[in-house]
Chain A
Amino acid sequence: MTDVAEIHARPKIIGARVKRTEDPRLLTGLGSYTDDRQVAHVLHAAFRRSDQSHARILAIDCEAARAAPGVIAIFMAEDLADGVKPLIATSRMSNYYATPIVPLARGKVRYVGEPVVGVIAESRYQAEDALELIDVDYEPLPVVIDAEAAVRDGAPLLHEEARTNVLVSREFKRGDVDAAIEAAPVRVKGRFRMHRKTPVAMEPRACLAEYDAGRDALTLYSATQVPGIVRDALSAALDMPGHQIRVVAPDVGGGFGGKGSLYPEEIFVCAAARRLARPVKWTSDRMEDLTCNSQGFDEIIDAELGLNADGRIVALRADVIGDVGAYSIYPWTAALEPVQVVSFLPGPYRIEHYRGRVRAVATSKAPTGPYRGVGRPSSTFVMERLMDMAAAKLRLDAKEIRLRNFIGADELPYKVASGIVWDKSGFQECLSAACDAIGYDTLRAAQKEARAKGRWFGIGVASYAELTGIGSRISVAPGMPINTGTETANIRIDSTGAITAAFGVASHGQGLETTLAQIVAEHLGARFEDVRIVQGDSAAVPGGTGTYASRSLVLAGGAATLAARAVREKVLNAASHLLEASAADLVADGGKVCVAGTDRSVTFREVARAVYSEMGRLPPDARDELAATRTYDPIFGTTTSATHIATVEIDPETFEIRVGRFAVAEDCGRLVNPLIVDGQVHGGVAQGIGAALYEEVVYDDQGQINTASLVDYLVPTACEIPPMQVVHLESESPTTLGGFRGMGEGGTIGSPAAI
């Protein structure tokens, strides 16, 4: 018996640098991204989009376009009013105004790029030709570009029904912050600006709706992170039951949050395909991607920190204006990004008195939505900057002031002033490990020397904590239309002995086909290569959302663990009859079941044949299908923490900024696949470097977007990204099954602040 317990206590596949299952197809050009799908009789959609920031639509003339070669149909808002219901990102939050989401603008346009008319033609070239023949007559309205101006009384309103541009306001507080700051001997404050970014996944969004008229059934292939959310939303918008709609996210070329919301084009192609009884495809070009995808961040943050003379923090207060763009994005709501800034602002530090106020303000720009890090790149930037300002005032080293203020290991779990609870996580250890990796003390000496020679040489340190693998008790917007806190796994061994594990998550580069197979194989006792993962398909499990918020490995991994253990029980029970041994004496390993300490064994395949195909081989009551479905809910979630250290040098003559070295030490709990974790950190850091130094969405004062090409919106190339050192501290999460912590976003959280 000890053998059995020991074998399962020692993971072999979890933690291994397993090469990815996804790679061979993607390396040989055999991946299947949405636009790769070849369908007979497919029609192509293109959108005439608003060239106005804020305007009333007076008239639309499509006559010339209707007569253009290849044009099959043209839809305007009123053509879809029957049969497509508006979707609303609901929430119980007080002071919240939800804006309806519709496929085409009705009455007014509220940002440059908003879809106004949809053209369907035999080819994409013809659809785009016809767009130019459409005449839209607008009455320009005052633009709403400056979020600070938009909150003032008398400002022009984007959504008149809301009677304000403030779509949501919230406040978190603890203690008497004003008195504590007034009394603090050391005070630092500033106004901080995190500019608007856009995710720029390399694959532009695409969607293809196929319609089976005989069954009134829609299948939407979409480059989305959230097929489950899209399925449920389409069911509501089109008033069709879920079993008549299937949403498939095939190979998806990156997301980073930009494919994590419902989009008007997804509703449009479904409505059009159903109306025309033909497949309808839309593939975004890069200009559409840069103007119409959900954008990220964009806050003005006034913050003040009060400290004691010994550098210990007593109080923090902040006032945040978040520019959320034209609509409250579905399903996340306008609260998603800016509210998380004040939720996470206190960071990994002990802060008794805190007040964070936030207003999410509508402007006539593209809606903001999830972008890697959500709120935390901004909150970390502000908090870490305040720490450095305080350190400078107190003549303390950047490392020392952080060590004095980290929540101690003995204080965890710790409830942050904003209400978040940090579980056991290695704040101090991450800082020390990052310092060791980069040789911090030597580097400080080198910095002194460089500065003495007139070089502008800086060392940036950023520590943060984030909540990942969030369970059902924590919502970004209480009462929003989806449940982000649970995940389901269905694992089955079929009559051929093949193992299939199905999930509601949707990998878009993370390698979940590999890591989830590692977890399933480990807990089932199967061979890694025998496990096939089905994900990115709303039909895979009854309810699921997708992949976002550093959740998939924690939640789906937990569900995989539970379901795999349940199936292993069933395999052992069936095998106990075949091997004539007690199930307690059996070990499942490497796709075989052995009687411990003997050479007697059966393969999973033989067990499957006995269960499904060999009549009378098992007693009738022992013939239990080798399948199980389990859901997992981490309830609250877990803490992931890290420290990033960067060296940055500025040329005093040209002001060229170069990031020299970059070290990350992070605690993401138990590693399933170190190779994949490294890759996630590298990519996140590169996006953070872009956010800090190169990337910014720019609107002019008329609401025109000036960054509508990759020549204007600068994504860092290999030349701008330095080599990176990554250290993993595997302190297993005490609150999640398997000890996993989420880590997909962290790279982007720490790096802007460090730089």
Chain B
Amino acid sequence: MSGRRDIRVTVNGALYERAVEPRLLLADFLRHTLGLTGTHVGCEHGVCGACTVLVDGDSARSCLMFAVQADGCTVETVEGLGRIGKLNPLQQSFHEHHALQCGFCTPGMLMTATDLLKKYPLATDDDIRDGLSGNLCRCTGYEHIVRAIRAVKAGAGR
């Protein structure tokens, strides 16, 4: 396809320069151009939140952005959190509270929760639930996810 555009995107600290079709979704760019398949695509219309990443520090739906819109931006994905054997506190808390089952919504949940924990006081569990209202999970009934985020918040405040 003609009309490729050159873009420069920093993903999890590494700079990538690629020529992409203008219509290529950021989610597809991350998954199939860069091979970072931790970001999942659940609906392609911005409802489910599975594809949530951080763009310049703010959570964003990578299925509702074109890769060219991320030109010059810093993107963080689930692969940029902790690693196996060295999970970050949020990932560790999800592990301990059984806050994931099939794991498909989990990367989006983690990125949304990262954003929430950074920006909001989350004084009550209802605040956490409100913050998660743009991320669907079909397995957990949300209960353990709320507890996992609550535990991180409590730990960080100590």
Contact = CB atoms under 8 A, between A and B. Distances in A.
Interface of A: 19-20, 22-33, 35-36, 38, 69, 125-126, 199-204, 251-254, 256, 285-286, 508-511, 675-676, 678-679, 681-687, 709-711, 715, 717-719, 721, 723-724, 747
16 contacts: A27-B110, A28-B78, A29-B38, A29-B78, A126-B1, A200-B138, A202-B139, A203-B40, A252-B102, A678-B144, A679-B98, A682-B140, A682-B143, A682-B144, A683-B139, A723-B143
Interface string B110-142: 100000000000000110111011111111111
Given A28-B79, A29-B107, A203-B40, A718 B98 contact: no
B155 interface: no
Interface in B19-68: 21, 23-24, 31-32, 35-45, 47-48, 50
Given A253-B40, A711-B47, A717-B132, A724 B141 contact: yes
B87 interface: yes
A19 B96 contact: yes
Given A27-B81, A686-B138, 19 more contacts: A24-B95, A25-B84, A26-B106, A28-B38, A29-B39, A30-B84, A203-B40, A204-B42, A253-B40, A253-B103, A254-B101, A254-B104, A285-B43, A676-B98, A683-B140, A710-B45, A717-B132, A719-B126, A719-B129
A325 B4 CA distance: 45
A254 B48 CA distance: 14
Closest 10 interchain pairs by CB? A29-B38, A253-B104, A509-B102, A26-B103, A682-B141, A686-B141, A36-B37, A509-B101, A710-B47, A29-B78
A507 to B, nearest CB: 9
Contacts of A25: 84
B38 A721 contact: no
B79 A509 contact: no
A29 B79 contact: yes
B158 interface: no
Task: Determine the main DSSP class of B at the interface with A.
Answer: loop
Interface centre among B23, B82, B91, B138 (most CB of A within 10 A): B138
Contacts of B98: 19-20, 675-676, 678-679
Nearest to B43: A286
A27 B102 contact: no
Contacts of B37: 29, 32-33, 35-36, 38
B100 interface: yes
Contact of B45 (A69, A709, A723): A709
Contact of A28 (B23, B48, B83, B136): B83
Contacts of B44: 285-286
A38 B135 CA distance: 26
A136 to B, nearest CB: 24
A254 B132 contact: no
B45 A683 contact: no
A709 B63 CA distance: 15
A369 to B, nearest CB: 17
B77 A29 contact: yes
Contacts of B83: 28
A683 B47 contact: no
B75 interface: no
A285 B142 CA distance: 24
B1 A69 contact: yes
B9 interface: no
A36 B31 contact: yes
A29 B47 CA distance: 21
Contacts of A723: 125, 143, 146
Contacts of A508: 102
Contact of B101 (A27, A32, A510): A510
A511 B128 CA distance: 26
Nearest to B12: A29
B146 A679 contact: no
